[in-house]
Structure 1
């Protein structure tokens, strides 16, 4: 393991090493440097720095955002993401600590246009008994508005909405078309190639019987193509909750417009096991050749951390991983109409899905769960806040206030998810060659992305067959990474000799955040008997700690002051770097590897609320956590 002590040096490593080497064309240069020019900064074509963004945000145009009182539209959401100060729906000034580089705005397509009409008390809404009930609750505000919104959402999840609303605010209706055009044109106004990329997108809101199977869709294209279509819905009689219907729409979009689109599965911890099926889908169809090929084609990316919990791993699935118990939501489905059982967990978490993908690939020749990692907020406030000290919550009803801690995300006779369980997460970092829709979209397709729970941790991960510690001593380690191997999201090249794969990893702390505790490699594999396994390796760590007799690394410590919502960077490291080779490699076994980088302990957002509002916190509330980054995996497939 090598510790790199200069933050400036590692920044150079991230930026200067960032674009693939090609042969120089200067006359006579081949006699001196046959493969590379003298200047280490010349002739580069691979990514220079991570671009930070959001793939899942709702404005007041979304049914479940507007019903809770969100009055901010797309323009406010775009301005906020670009770093401008705006006024929230509860009248509070708010601004990001640092602007984002790109964003996908993903308002729900079902009942598109309904929420603004509900807020206005439109006559066609008041003509319905349910419409009058929801409008009365919205107008009353406070707890009544929350109950009204939950009732509306429950009717949506259970498919008991009045049909006149489904058809009147569905494809073919004027409100639907008008709202889609509004969304598209707002993205066009705020797209600024080279400076900020504003993606046209939407959320396809499949939630049959409360099982969350949502997907977010991202278009590579502008208004010329996007306005040739209208997005799909899920509510019958005009829509379908089966993901196959979404795949058919994506196929239609590309064939009709010549554009390109992808879908991102919503984190699966409210799907009660149906997000990653292995035998049959929720809708009764088989997980067969057609299914695995369609999912592999259309879903190259997974949203595995967000406000409604972290979706990497669960202690019941990974009992030997002490860090698997992080922000888990495991009560039930989205509306808690069905409680969770342990058997369901395997179909919900990213690590288990990656393992299942290996088995399905062995069976069908295609891995449907070969996805890149990403994070998003899923905020319904129009505000993409994933900062612990600047967290504006899931919805307008839980924007900052002295009472929001006690406001549950959902509560009914079957169970509840408390308000303090909301997670200030997350963002996606993309290794793209430039800040444009095209370059960022292409990075998603090749899976060169990584997730964080909010901090802007720098992370590089390369896999190959001949990385050595000397490769880290260069001031341009990414040059060696791209030249000798593949980046995160890639497949290892054919094996070279009788060696195990080697991986070059370097992580840099968020410049204004916490130091790093450790870097880990998570491996999953399929053995010769068809059994799936996993193992977590500590590969680089801070403060000169030594593993104990069982190979366990001692905890890094805790400097959090709960009275001031602060911590000290007197422990941990500003950067960690390592070349690691798999000591348990079997060339006959399919495998994947990804990196998890952990910060030292810091306060959760509830502690900032405690200090700023002078409130007491429930004894059950978690106060301290270790934020983290997750790379996209690198896969190994045996030859033959």
Structure 2
């Protein structure tokens, strides 16, 4: 599991408003809005808002980066950990018992398992003897040389936007294999979501879209959060939608724009490693940004992740390059996620500069 990221948040989108219960037990509208699902109103609701702490970026055994480092944590265990339970972690004995354990000092208010959509099926395939493709050379590399598999699988999925050969024509075998993990993620979220008036814990369904700008190694990763249990049959991956605009359009087509209560939010992360591509003013295809593109991005991406173990994205200080001297914290020496030896610049994608650029566009 990834290192926990604590987020201070009570966003209008994520914080459910007060509501009264209709005779059928569903929530009905009030002056503050309405729920998009059946649940009891929160007894401690505050119309003036309140701070909540959670983690919307958690990987389990179904993510390639976690599984190739020995992670065996299931979505269920990830939510148990977020709620304050102790869980076992690697290394493991020959009998599969953990040699270490972890426990939060204080339980979180909300969490989301956000496994990488691109390789959920591949990881499931390589760990399940009954699935066709288990004996492929790619899966043999995965099981016996996990570090090599990490680079091979990621290169194909996040830089080439392509399935590996064992996935079959059009990646159908891996898409089929991804169904069970995706459904398990949904079941785990539902199991741990407190729908009572106590509102002790909220579990969101979601995933990570894991793209990279191939030439620069620029990180384009985004986490997708669904408002309730109504979600697409499969997540839209970078392989399926190899540009942010294609991701937003897929979510609009398969969720936000459909009749019903499906609703989604996209959260970019690690623009500090985007080599300037996350907030460049151009589309992912290098085309000039249009008003329509900007509006679509504003609709889907009203916020961004600022801090995690891959560095701070808020700001950057370098003598002669930037002037903000209060930014010398949690900085990485590179501007990309691929490891190319390129130093960060003021145009890399740090959020204080992005905010200034956005204000300039509005004038």
The within-5 A match list for 1:507-522 is none
Q: How big is the alpha-carbon RMSD for the aligned residues of Structure 1 and Structure 2?
A: 2.5
Matching residue of 2:187: 185
Q: 1:6-36: CA deviations, max 9, x gaps?
A: xxxxxxxxxxxxxxxxxxxxxxxxxxxxxxx
**2:220 paired residue among 213, 217, 220:** 213
Asked if structure 2 preserves the Cα contact closer than 8 Å seen for 1:83 and 1:99, the reply is yes
* Partner SS state of residue 117, structure 2: coil
Asked if structure 2 preserves the Cα contact closer than 8 Å seen for 1:346 and 1:352, the reply is yes
Matching residue of 2:271: 268
Higher strand share: 1
Matching residue of 2:127: 119
In structure 2, relative to structure 1, the CA distance for the partners of 1:288 and 1:349 (3 Å cut) is: same
TM-score (norm 2): 0.76
Q: In 2, Cα distance between the equivalents of 1:255 and 1:171?
A: 28
Q: In 2, Cα distance between the equivalents of 1:161 and 1:217?
A: 21
* Partner SS state of residue 272, structure 1: coil
In structure 2, relative to structure 1, the CA distance for the partners of 1:265 and 1:62 (3 Å cut) is: same
Deviation at 1:135, TM superposition (A): 2.4
In structure 2, relative to structure 1, the CA distance for the partners of 1:264 and 1:186 (3 Å cut) is: same
Asked if structure 1 preserves the Cα contact closer than 8 Å seen for 2:110 and 2:204, the reply is yes
5+ residue gaps, structure 2, are: 1-44, 92-97
| Larger relative contact order (Cα-Cα within 8 Å, sequence gap ≥ 6) | 1
Matching residue of 2:104: 96
Matching residue of 1:108: 116
TM-score (norm 1): 0.45
Larger Cα-atom Rg? 1
* Partner SS state of residue 331, structure 1: coil
Q: In 2, Cα distance between the equivalents of 1:59 and 1:359?
A: 40
Q: In 2, Cα distance between the equivalents of 1:188 and 1:302?
A: 25
Q: In 1, Cα distance between the equivalents of 2:270 and 2:360?
A: 21
Asked if structure 2 preserves the Cα contact closer than 8 Å seen for 1:112 and 1:170, the reply is no
* Partner SS state of residue 116, structure 1: helix
Matching residue of 1:200: 205
5+ residue gaps, structure 1, are: 1-42, 138-144, 363-640
Q: In 2, Cα distance between the equivalents of 1:172 and 1:125?
A: 9
Q: What is the total number of aligned residue pairs between the two structures?
A: 303
Q: 1:63-82: CA deviations, max 9, x gaps?
A: 22222221111010000000
Q: Is the aligned partner of 1:289 residue 2:291?
A: yes
Asked if structure 2 preserves the Cα contact closer than 8 Å seen for 1:264 and 1:299, the reply is yes
Q: 1:59-117: CA deviations, max 9, x gaps?
A: 11112222222111101000000001111132212100110010122111112232233
Deviation at 1:185, TM superposition (A): 1.0
Q: In 1, Cα distance between the equivalents of 2:79 and 2:360?
A: 41
* Partner SS state of residue 119, structure 2: coil
* Partner SS state of residue 125, structure 1: coil
In structure 2, relative to structure 1, the CA distance for the partners of 1:243 and 1:117 (3 Å cut) is: same
Q: In 1, Cα distance between the equivalents of 2:201 and 2:321?
A: 39
